[in-house]
Structure formats: C-alpha cells, structure tokens
Amino acid sequence: MSRPPSASQSAADLGVIGGSGFYSFLDSVEEVQIDTPYGPPSDRIAIGMLAGRRVAFVPRHGRDHRHPPHKIPYRANLWALRSLGVRQVLAPSAVGSLTTRYGPGTLAIPDQLVDRTSGRAQTYYDEGAAIHLSFADPYCPAGREIAVSAAREAGWSPVDGGTLVVIEGPRFSTRAESRWYAAQGWTLVGMTGHPEAVLARELALCYTPLCLVTDLDAGIEQGEGVTMDEVFRVFGENIERLRTLVADVITSLPADRTCPCSRSLDGMKPPIELP
C-alpha cells in the first residue's frame, strides 16, 4: 500500500534507479509515494532491506514502462531519493555498443559521458544564483572501483572505462549518427544516463552506472539495425545476473563516503533548500 514516508519507516541508505526486474532483489518491501518540488517521481518508490542496509528503488520508466527516455521525471527521481536519505545511487541500464569489441551481454562501467540530448531539464539551479559544479569526471570513483571489482569476483569480464553518449530518443540512431559517435572514440550509446548523473552531482550524491550492452548500434551492426525486441530480449536474459551484481555492489559500498561526490557543493550556496 502506498503511503507518505516517515523518517523511521522510509529512510534509506542507498538508491537504485533501474528497470522493473529489480523489485525482487529487496526483502521486506514497502512502497511510498513521494511528492517533490518537481512533481512525482516515475512511480511509487520501493524500499526494502538488502544485507542489513535499507535500499530505495525507483523504476526509471515507471513500472508499466510509460515514461519514454525524454519524458522521465529525472529531477523528481533524484530529489525523492535524497529526501529519503539516499546518498549513493546505482544506475543499471541497457545500452548499445559502438564497437565490435563489446557484444551483447557485455557489462561496462564507463568513466565518461557525452550529452547529445535536447530539451531535458538538467539542473536544479536554473534561477536564484549561478551554481557551477565540476563535472569533469561524471561518475563516483569509489562506486566505479567497487562495481568493477564486484563484477570480476562474480565472473563477469567488465569493461573498466569508456564513454557513454546519451541521445535524446526515443528513436534509435541512424547509421550515420552511430558511425559519427564511434569515430569520436565513444564506446556506448544510451538514452537515460543524462541528466541522471549531473542531477546526482548537483545533490552531492554518488552515482555509479552499470551498463549492460544489449546490441551493436546501427552503424556497427549489419542488417536492419537495432530493434526494441532485441534490447528487451538481451536485457531479460541477463537481468538475474545483473540483479545479483547490484546486490553485491550494495553490500560492498562503504557507509561513510570519502569520495569527491560528497563535497561537490562545498563552498557554494545553492539557491534552494536541499532535502
């Protein structure tokens, strides 16, 4: 049953933003409806226990997949997680590969991001004061290191590093666009990694991507190109393994943060009160 959160019942240590297949990795789940200054999040937030830690899960597209990538309420999702006490976020997602080296089923933990979206609200600080945050390294270094290590221990051969280019969607790339991205040296293409990462940084949250390659992008693959059925099929075939990895990473993340993410707002005066 959905109900407003209380500090005792709904505080969470860690957050996961992902697909509906991640519900079942939590125990003793309760669902809460949270309102934010940016509207409601994608859906009710599930909060449960995992290895003695409270984890909040946001279904990125909504549990019925009703939000296309360019319409996801990104600001509400991250704000809601922070309001629950979350300070570290894991973000599993399906991506395309821009190189034949990384075929379907490959796990990648990129260290760079390129924004090719348009029209998405991508800041909390668009009035009241100019807040300029460092985003040279968009992902949490501690989270990435732990994710790579946990993946190797679980039997993956993860790609450590690389650049994720985020496109507007909801359509897939043309062959020309795909080849252009690859020519820049970018290795992965997705539709949801931005503005999630930058909004997390603006809230001083750690954000770690876990990218599962579901297809070779249009400029790399021969034939008809990428299809939604193909993406869903490969993601479904790997969801249990990816879910286990998320649990392993959560178990390994430190309770106390020493990474730069926690200090991203030091010396600044945000024009809004953060939760």
Residues 164-204 have pLDDT tens digits of 999 999 999 999 999 999 999 999 999 999 999 999 999 99
Catalytic residue among 13, 43, 115, 215: 215
On whether residue 60 sits in a domain, the answer given is: yes
Model confidence at 231, pLDDT cuts 50, 70, 90, reads: confident
- Provide the percentage of residues in the chain whose pLDDT is more than 70: 92
Q: Which two tokens stand for residue 123?
A: 């800041």
On whether residue 159 sits in a domain, the answer given is: yes
The yes-or-no verdict on residue 27 having pLDDT over 90 is: no
On whether residue 267 sits in a domain, the answer given is: no
Q: How many domains does the chain have?
A: 1
56 close to 45: Cβ distance less than 8 angstroms: yes
The yes-or-no verdict on residue 17 having pLDDT over 60 is: yes
Gap between the Cα atoms of 211 and 235, Å rounded: 10
- 138: which residues sit within 8 A by CB, 6+ positions away? 112, 113, 197, 198, 201, 207
Gap between the Cα atoms of 207 and 146, Å rounded: 12
Q: What is the pLDDT of residues 96-109, one digit of tens each?
A: 999 999 999 999 99
Cis status, amide bond into 69, omega within 30 of 0: no
On whether residue 93 sits in a domain, the answer given is: yes
Helix pair 74-83, 193-202: axis angle to 10 deg: 40
Gap between the Cα atoms of 213 and 36, Å rounded: 33
Mean of all residue pLDDT scores within the chain: 90
Q: Count how many residues are written for the chain.
A: 275
32 close to 5: Cβ distance less than 8 angstroms: yes
- 124: which residues sit within 8 A by CB, 6+ positions away? 75, 79, 199, 202, 203, 270, 272
Residue 226: its pLDDT value, please?
Answer: 67
215 is catalytic: yes
On whether residue 271 sits in a domain, the answer given is: no
Looking up residue 61, the CATH number of its domain turns out to be 3.40.50.1580
Q: What is the pLDDT of residues 97-143, one digit of tens each?
A: 999 999 999 999 999 999 999 999 999 999 998 899 999 999 999 99
Catalytic residue among 217, 248, 256, 266: 217
160 is catalytic: no
Range of the domain at 57: 2-254
User: Which range (179-193, 198-212, 232-246) has the least confidence?
Assistant: 232-246
Gap between the Cα atoms of 263 and 52, Å rounded: 26
Model confidence at 51, pLDDT cuts 50, 70, 90, reads: confident
On whether residue 40 sits in a domain, the answer given is: yes
Residue 144: its pLDDT value, please?
Answer: 98
